[in-house]
Chain A
Amino acid sequence: MQERTLDFIEPETSVKVLKVTGQKSSRKRILDMGLTPGTKVEVIRRAPLGDPVKFKLKGYNLSLRKKEAETVLVEIIE
């Protein structure tokens, strides 16, 4: 399994979160929103201008900018 950051994942792919890195405050917020290790995240699509990106996790929709997605390490699941 290959480790990647969430911003590199193509839309319509499902991934599993491995780790959240990045700055303290944004990291905690991302964890609070449910991107904890092991969580399944679906990359839905990018906004018309390429950024931010819409994700689906734990049954709700979340949007993150690529810059924040960059701090989330994930692996692709089939």
Chain B
Amino acid sequence: MTEKITVALAGNPNVGKTSIFNAITGSKQHVGNWPGVTVERKMGKRKHKDVEMQVVDLPGTYSLTAYSLDEIIARDFIIEEKPDIVVQVIDATNLERNLYLTTQLMELGTRLIIALNMTDLALAKGDSIDVQKMQEFLEVPVISTIGSRGGGIEELLDSVTKEIHRTRTSENIFVYGVEIEKSAEELENVLAEDPYFSHYPSRWFSMKLLEGDENIIKKAEESENYPQIRKILQRTDADSFEAKIADQRYKTIQTMLRQVCNINTDRLSGSDMVDRVVTNKYLGIPIFLSLMWAAFEITFTFATPFMNIIDIFFGWLAETAAGVITVSWLASLVGDGMIAGVGSVLIFLPNILLLFFMISLMEDSGYMSRAAFIMDKVMSKIGLHGKSFIPLIMGFGCNVPAIMATRTIEDSRDRLITILITPFMSCGARLPVYVLLAGAFFGRDAGIVIFGLYALGIFVALISAKLMRSTIVKGEDTPFIMELPSYKIPTLKGSILHMWERGKIYLKKAGGIILIGVVGVWILASIPAPGSGGTFASEEIYGTTDSMIGFIGQIIEPLVAPLGFDWKIAVALLFGVVAKEIVVGSMGVLYGVGDNEDSLSEILAAGAMTPLAGLGLMVFTLLYVPCFACIGVIKRETGSWKWTAFQLFYGTGLAWIFAFVLYQVGSRMGLFA
């Protein structure tokens, strides 16, 4: 008979929970070497020896007192949903702090198994840990694992299946001294009387009350017996209890560690050496900038040959299609619509892949946290946090996961501002627009123009944060307490996997929403405008003002005419709201790339648009409404349509103003005419 159980993976941030989750369930959840990668719970399944396990990967947390949203998610799952077994993943190179959570989990009375992870690193460092002894001390199973390579997973699962049938004996191994114990006992007695508390172990609950855990106190307030509880609490010196409890926990851990392991502390570690350089007072920031440039350079330069291959492929495809399909409207749909539209977008796949490869190197090496460390001061100047810097960098890849990553920010107002400014970070979907237009109009200086756009995005984000901070989202500085993980050499496999996962998303998007978008544009470009009297998909009306799309375009054209955009661009921008790649896709359809020898950029450079308008279009694309997916995630993470609408109007307003000033001033001064 098969049994069904829930197994939760808990532990401190960045200890390898997700790596182990992936190894157990065969999933490909995101892994990275910085604290706070996982921000929501992820489910997976695994069957082992007739036991069907529902495995849950949780965000990391340092203790059962939660501060940020991701920690709250982890804590609530453990406390409220009571998984059958909690596997606490522990970083073997950092036992003392990791075991602090263990003490709390034990107090909570969870069925616990410890996965002693990163044992390879501990070994390399020269530490030795006596697993057997540790197991005896803690009275819970301890299994050595190497999450990133799947080592020890079978043993871990064996242990899980054994543990569910074991009758447990031990409890309350921590004693906190007479004074605290006395108050705890009194509290426990009160709690025992009230069925309201029966959901929680009373020992744990009273310790949490004595520690002054705000969340637990709030829970207690709902009970009828609260006055009694308050009386006991008032007699205690909460501040000193809090310190004493933490202290006692750490003391117990130290006593144990002295006997079970031998930690090598005398050597300066590789991480310390790297940090000495990359966080150096004079060199830290230049090194950061030079690495950024390097990532940028690779993303753009190395992609060229691969882009050319794709370009040639689509050229061939268009030609073949034109030769095979004889029905004229169908040929136009396939050639001018699908191939031209999707092709103009897919050509940027190499850029996207390289971009994510670079970001994954940054995530996996451990440099991400250092970037936050170096930039914290700058961020504090605008009223934010070093931790807000991580979502901003992730935003260069895709804004959606970046906005999710803000969950690690403790203060809700800091988090709100970070969510609102993240869309100004130029994501991969905007890159096609830049590469196309900068390439068409600025030739050799394209790199500088694109670099400038990224810089503009950062600038707008920072200024906006400052502005919001001092007006609508006022608030104080919040504490900045961040762990700096040790460096790890990124594995080629890991980075390629990450790159491929993102590449797949891009391909799916191209074959899905973008295809639909461009076909939509093609249909509108083929339907005659009301009253024009043309025929469907005839060459006379296709993509002209006599088509439906021309009709719509001309209606909205006045809105963007002051920015130097014509109706075709107005339409492209309108459809680009769905996904920004569609801006390029629809331009491909509208400027008739399909049956043309020249590529879109050649058509544009030949005079379809002035360089100044091109520049304006890039700026506008950078700042205006992010894509549908992003709007959705802003709504979900802020929980408010009001803030979502604010972001949309603010961004689009800024986009309009920037493009307007650029065009008006530029054309008066005769720039890029």
Which A residues are within 8 Å of any B CB, using their own CB? 19-20, 24-34, 36-39, 44-52, 54, 58-65, 67-68
Contact call B247/A38, Cβ cutoff below 8 A: yes
- Decide: A61 near B484, CB < 8 A? Known: A28-B211, A47-B374, A48-B282: yes
A49-B378, A63-B484 given; A20·B479 CB < 8 A: no
- Option from B212, B214, B243 in Cβ contact (under 8 Å) with A20: B243
In contact, B377 and A26 (Cβ under 8 angstroms): no
Assuming the contacts A31-B242, A32-B63, asked whether A65 and B212 have C-beta atoms less than 8 A apart, the reply is no
Asked whether B481 lies within 8 Å of A68 as measured between CB atoms, the reply is: yes
- In the assembled complex, the CB of B245 is this many whole angstroms from the nearest CB of chain A, namely 9
In the complex, residue of chain B having the shortest beta-carbon distance to the beta carbon of A27 = B242
How far, in angstroms, from A30 to B62 measured CA to CA in the complex? 11
List B200-259 residues whose CB lies under 8 Å from chain A.
Answer: 211-214, 242-243, 246-247, 250
In the bound complex, CA of A32 to CA of B96 (Å):
11
In the assembly, what is the distance between CA of A16 and CA of B144, in Å? 33
Report the contact-size class of chain B (Cβ under 8 Å from the partner): 35 or more
Known: A48-B280, A52-B373, A58-B96. A29 touches B275 (CB 8 A): no
B67 touches A29 (CB 8 A): yes
Chain B contacts for A33, CB-based, 8 A: 62, 97, 481, 483
In the complex, whether B380 has a CB less than 8 A from a CB of chain A is yes
Task: Check B376–A28 contact: CB distance below 8 A.
Answer: no
How far in angstroms is the closest Cβ of chain B from A25? 7
Q: Is B96 within 8 A of A65, CB to CB?
A: no
A14 to B250, CA, bound (A): 19
Q: Which 7 A-B pairs have the closest CB atoms?
A: A49-B377, A48-B284, A26-B479, A61-B484, A31-B246, A32-B63, A58-B96
Does B100 lie at the interface of the complex (its beta carbon under 8 Å from any beta carbon of A)?
yes
Choose from A46, A65, A67 the contact partner of B281 (Cβ within 8 Å): A46
B262-292 contact mask (Cβ, 8 Å, vs A): 1 or 0: 0101000001100110011111110000000
Q: Find chain B residues with CB under 8 A from A30 CB.
A: 481
Docked Cα-Cα span, A35 to B63, in Å, equals: 14
CA distance A3 to B501 in the complex (A): 53
Instruction: Give the residues in chain B near A48, CB-CB below 8 Å.
Output: 279-285, 374
Contact A63 B65 (CB under 8 A): no
B482 located at the interface, meaning its Cβ lies under 8 Å from any Cβ of chain A in the complex: yes
For this complex, 7 residue pairs linking A to B, each with C-beta atoms less than 8 Å apart, are: A25-B214, A29-B67, A45-B279, A46-B281, A59-B265, A64-B480, A65-B380
Contact B373–A47 (Cβ < 8 Å): yes
A contact residues around B93 at 8 Å (CB): 59
Q: Which residues of B contact A47 (CB under 8 A)?
A: 279, 284, 373-374, 376-377
B264's nearest neighbour on chain A, judged by CB, is A59
Asked if B470 is an interface residue, CB under 8 A from chain A, the answer is no
Q: B94 within 8 Å of A by Cβ?
A: yes
Known interface pairs A31-B246, A34-B100, A36-B246; A59-B94 also in contact (CB < 8 Å) = yes
* Interfacial chain B residues near A32, Cβ < 8 Å: 62-63, 65, 100, 246
Inside 8 A of B243's CB, which chain A residues have their CB? 19-20, 31, 36-37
Which residues of B have CB within 8 Å of A65? 376, 380, 479-480
* Chain B positions 46 through 65: 1 when the CB is less than 8 Å from some CB of chain A, otherwise 0: 00000000000000001101
Given contacts A25-B214, A32-B65, A63-B386, 13 further A-B contacts (CB under 8 A): A28-B65, A28-B242, A32-B63, A33-B62, A34-B96, A34-B97, A45-B276, A45-B279, A47-B284, A48-B283, A59-B93, A62-B483, A63-B483
Task: Specify the chain A residue showing the minimal Cβ separation from B478.
Answer: A26
Q: Are B100 and A28 in contact (CB under 8 A)?
A: no
CB distance from A53 to the nearest CB of B (A): 10
Min CB gap B368→A, angstroms: 13
Contacting pair A24 B373 (CB below 8 A): no
Contact A52 B281 (CB under 8 A): no
A63 → chain B, closest Cβ, in Å? 5
Contact for B484 among A19, A34, A62, CB less than 8 A: A62
B-chain residues with CB within 8 Å of residue A49 when the two chains form the complex: 285, 374, 377-378
Query: Are B479 and A68 closer than 8 Å at their CB atoms?
Result: yes
Contact B280 A60 (CB under 8 A): no
Give Cα distance in the complex from A24 to B374, angstroms. 27
The smallest beta-carbon distance between B355 and chain A, in angstroms, is 26
Which residues of B (63-82) have their CB < 8 Å from a CB of A? 63, 65, 67
Q: In whole Å, how far is B11's beta carbon from the nearest beta carbon of chain A?
A: 14
A-facing mask of B370-390, CB < 8 A → 1, else 0? Answer: 000110111010000010000
B171 within 8 A of A: no
What is the bound-complex CA distance between A73 and B477, given in angstroms? 21
Roughly how many angstroms separate A26 CA and B378 CA in the complex, as a whole number? 22
Chain B residues contacting A67 (CB-CB under 8 Å) are: 477, 479-480
- Output the nearest chain B residue to A35 by Cβ-Cβ distance: B246
Question: Could you tell me the distance in whole angstroms from the C-beta of A23 to the nearest C-beta in chain B?
Answer: 8
Whether B247 contacts A59 by the Cβ 8 Å rule is no
- Assess A59 versus B482: contact at CB under 8 Å? Given A31-B243, A48-B282, A54-B275: no
> Which residues does chain B contribute within 8 Å of A26, judged by CB atoms?
479, 481
Instruction: For the complex formed, measure the closest distance between the CB of B354 and the CB atoms of chain A, giving whole angstroms.
Output: 28
A28 to B279, CA, bound (A): 28
- Chain A residues, CB < 8 A from B63: 32
B residues 502-526 touching A (CB-CB < 8 Å): none
Q: B369 — nearest CB in chain A belongs to which residue?
A: A63
Give Cα distance in the complex from A51 to B213, angstroms.
30
A50 B479 Cβ-Cβ under 8 A: no
Bound-state Cα–Cα, A24 to B263, Å: 33
Docked pose: A31 CA to B240 CA in angstroms: 12
Closest A residue to B477 by beta carbon equals: A67
The chain B residue sitting closest to A38, CB to CB, is B247
Q: Which of A20, A28, A30 has the most CB of B within 10 A?
A: A28
Give the Cβ gap from B51 to chain A, nearest Cβ, in Å: 34
